[in-house]
Structure 1
Amino acid sequence: MASQIIFIILCLAGIALFSLNARKVIRNIKLGKPESRNDQPAKRWLTMLKVAFGQTKMAARPIPFLLHLVVYLGFVIINIEVLEIMIDGIFGTHRVFAGLGGLYNFLIGSFELLALGVWLGCAIFLIRRNVLKLKRFSGVEMKSWPKSDANYILITEILLMTAFLLMNAADAKLQALGQAHYINAGAFPVSAWLQGLLPADAGSLVMIERICWWFHIVGIFAFLNYLPYSKHFHILFAFPNTYFSNLEPKGEFTNMASVTNEVKAMLDPAFVPLEAAPGKFGAKDINDLSWINLMNAYTCTECGRCTSVCPANITGKLLSPRKIMMDTRDRMEEVGKNVDKHGIDHQDGKALLDDYITREEIWACTSCNACTEACPINIDPLAIIVELRRFAIMEESNAPSSINAMLGNVENNGAPWKYAPADRFNWVEGS
């Protein structure tokens, strides 16, 4: 009974703490401006099924795709067993679903094979990051915590899978010994190989089985509450992020209603806009971005696929699309903490632009959309860059000389070049 009470308290505390942290994350996302993404629901559901569940965009790199698929499916499916663990923990039963008979044996056997796949996949991922040191896992933004975060999760998953297999190995030996409470149930194709490593006496086996059982469930609760502090929040956010992703053609910039209204008013003095002009053009801080942009930042997996294909980054420029998303998330976290301490109207004198993302970064972008195409979960760094550029130009009239020259040419000549419209076809003369 004491263990059941401890388990129930642990369970309630874990769920309550996760709910509290998740609410803070959602609150932070709501700091962004409203934006409607409820059109074409059928297409949105299909996008989510393909990109989030099917991981179709991961397939561009077959080896990490297969490894990630095994880890993803294995970890999710194995955690179906958590339902049985929860019931056993609350009611003091053991393998409560054993009554399923052959189906139960098939499930436990499948879980073990998947656990082995997860173990191997995580081990290979650790080798790729720390021994082979693939280039896309490095960068100015991938130091300290971001670099350690992935290692912590991979090591945790290996430990959880090890505990799961050792628990089953001890359980199987206890079943063979006819130990009370350990009913004959389950198939153990992988843990059978570990049984030889375990002691033969029942007392030691019970201790090992119980330690691994508690480690497994406590580890899952710890993992759940680690997510809000980690890039691995994409495990949950990948689904809404892909559902609400941009369905318009890549590279199509959004029009600003306020500018459209101003142009219409110039052409038609009788025009009355339906909505008031905004107080600010573009974005300087996270409050000026949309909630979609902010959800993108929380969903970023920091995989580096965006940065690895960015032509600006490849040619040595300062821009890293991954850093844009990480900086946005870091600034959002900072603002959220200020809200908790000082209230919603607190101003700390900082902003996303300049304090986190530099002018050099936003103007290095070629707007090619390579980053959005490469992202496995439809994150759009370019949308944030464009809003920061809009603020720099429309609010501050602050842009590189080449951009100002281009804008002047558009205003005076109707084209980005310095030539007058009448001279545009001079190049064909004499041909």
Structure 2
Amino acid sequence: MISQVIFLIILAASVYLFAKNAGKVRRNILLGRNVERSGNPALRWKTMALVALGQSKMTKRPLAALLHLFVYAGFVIINIEVLEILIDGLFGSHRIFSKPLGSLYGLLIGSFEILALLVLTGCIGFLIRRNVLKLKRFRGVEMTNWPRSDANYILFIEICLMAAFLTMNAADYKLQLLHYEHYAVAGKFPISSLLLPLLPSSANVLLIIERACWWFHIVGILAFLNYLPYSKHFHILLAFPNTYYSNLNPQGKFSNMASVTNEVKAMLDPSYIPENLESGRFGVKDATDLTWKNLLDAYTCTECGRCTSVCPANQTGKLLSPRKIMMDTRDRITEIGKGIDKQGKDYTDDKTLLDSYITREELWACTTCNACVEACPVNINPLEIITGMRRYIVMEESAAPASLNNMFGNMENNGAPWRYSNADRFNWAEK
């Protein structure tokens, strides 16, 4: 009974803390402007199934896709077993599903063990790629100590959880063979049975090992759950809503600003009655000027670097890194959220996303080619943030680079980006 009470307290505290921290992330996301992303639900469900569940965009890098599949599928499916652990922990039972499921239970446990081995393989492979091979896309000015450590922490946690799971099963299996107390024969153990020679023969010691691994496994999972809101690995949960609310328009199609559209319509038609729109600045200066979907993108970012690795500006040595754009956006909206928690909803500071986090040189290095959008495995769109901030620089500050101001002048005077007037446009064809 004491262990059940302790388990209940740990479970309740974990669920409460996760709900509280996840609620803060949700609050931060909703600080963004509204945007309509509910149309065409059938296509949205299909997109989510293919991209988030089916990992369709991961296949562009086959080895990484295979290792990620091992970790993703294995870790998710193995955690079905957590339901049994929760019931056992709350009611003091042991392998409660073994009798109702019969022979199917053995198949499940055996499958879980094979998946656990695949998770271990995938995590070790990722550790080697990050820390031994040191792939270039895992580096960059934005990849400071914390982002690199965060990835390693998660991989080590998953390795420890899978090792505990297999060790727990091995000790359980040996206790079954010894017919110890309530350890009735249940399950198949194709992987953990290989560990039996390494375990002691004493039933009491085996019991301690089995119970210690049981507690480590479930408490580790609950701790991992509460680590997610502080980590880039929150994408485990956010990838699904993020892909569902993807921009379904063709890539490269810019959205019109409703406030500007109002002004244009009023100039063209004096009888036009402008729509009532929320006040705000043109473009994006701070994170709260972004849409909630932009902020959801930021919290979903896995920092995998695929976007930056295909960015032509980054490849030619320019400062722009689409990954940094997303990381800076997440850091800024998190900073605003913490300020609100401390000082209330009217919190302000002397920082902005533009200049304080993202430099203008980064923004103007972008070629708007959409390579980063195409490369992202969870449909994140850094380009929307970049163009929003460019709009602010041009429309609010009139501070575009000289080359662009020349183009704007030519567009206004000549109807084309070039300096030639309409009358001279076909002079080249005269001879």
Q: Output the TM-score relative to the length of structure 2.
A: 0.99
Partners of 2:308 and 2:294 lie apart in 1 by 18
Structure 2: which amino acid aligns with 1:158? Answer: I
Partners of 1:355 and 1:20 lie apart in 2 by 29
Aligned to 1:152: 153
Corresponding residue SS for 1:181: coil
Partners of 1:342 and 1:208 lie apart in 2 by 48
Aligned to 2:424: 423
% same residue = 68
1:365-376 correspondence runs (5 A): 365-376=366-377
Corresponding residue SS for 2:281: coil
Q: Is 1:120 aligned with 2:127?
A: no
Per-residue deviation at 1:277?
6.7
Aligned to 1:175: 176
Per-residue deviation at 1:408?
1.2
- Measured against aligned partners, the alpha-carbon deviations of 1:29-57 in whole angstroms (never above 9, x if no partner) come to 01000111011010000000000000100
Aligned to 1:329: 330
- Measured against aligned partners, the alpha-carbon deviations of 1:242-281 in whole angstroms (never above 9, x if no partner) come to 0001000000000011111111111111111122473310
Partners of 1:375 and 1:328 lie apart in 2 by 16
Aligned to 1:3: 3
Any gaps of 5 or more consecutive residues in structure 1? none
1:50-199 correspondence runs (5 A): 50-99=50-99, 100-199=101-200
- Measured against aligned partners, the alpha-carbon deviations of 1:384-420 in whole angstroms (never above 9, x if no partner) come to 0000000000000011111111111111111111111
- Measured against aligned partners, the alpha-carbon deviations of 1:272-306 in whole angstroms (never above 9, x if no partner) come to 11224733100100111000000000000000000
- Which deviates further from its counterpart, 276-285 or 381-390? 276-285
Q: Is 1:381 aligned with 2:365?
A: no
1:15-414 correspondence runs (5 A): 15-99=15-99, 100-276=101-277, 278-414=279-415
Per-residue deviation at 1:181?
1.5
Corresponding residue SS for 2:274: coil
Structure 1: which amino acid aligns with 2:425? Answer: R
Corresponding residue SS for 1:69: helix
Structure 1: which amino acid aligns with 2:33? Answer: K
Structure 2: which amino acid aligns with 1:201? Answer: S
Partners of 2:349 and 2:259 lie apart in 1 by 28
Partners of 2:386 and 2:363 lie apart in 1 by 6
Quote the RMSD (CA, aligned, Å): 0.7
Corresponding residue SS for 2:228: helix
Partners of 1:136 and 1:415 lie apart in 2 by 39
Corresponding residue SS for 2:36: coil
- Measured against aligned partners, the alpha-carbon deviations of 1:87-137 in whole angstroms (never above 9, x if no partner) come to 000010000001111100000000000000000100000000000000000
Aligned to 1:13: 13
In structure 2, the CA distance between the partners of 1:276 and 1:92, relative to structure 1 (3 Å rule), is: closer
Per-residue deviation at 1:142?
0.5
Partners of 2:164 and 2:311 lie apart in 1 by 41
Corresponding residue SS for 1:200: coil
Partners of 1:245 and 1:277 lie apart in 2 by 24
Kindly tell me the number of residue pairs found equivalent between the two proteins: 430
Partners of 1:149 and 1:427 lie apart in 2 by 60
- Which deviates further from its counterpart, 344-353 or 310-319? 344-353
Partners of 2:423 and 2:231 lie apart in 1 by 58
Per-residue deviation at 1:429?
2.1
- Measured against aligned partners, the alpha-carbon deviations of 1:139-167 in whole angstroms (never above 9, x if no partner) come to 00011110100000001000000000000
Structure 2: which amino acid aligns with 1:375? Answer: C
Any gaps of 5 or more consecutive residues in structure 2? none
Per-residue deviation at 1:360?
0.4
Corresponding residue SS for 2:97: helix
Partners of 2:208 and 2:323 lie apart in 1 by 46
Partners of 2:426 and 2:70 lie apart in 1 by 59
Corresponding residue SS for 1:96: coil
Corresponding residue SS for 1:427: helix
- Measured against aligned partners, the alpha-carbon deviations of 1:141-199 in whole angstroms (never above 9, x if no partner) come to 01111010000000100000000000000000000001002111000000011111110
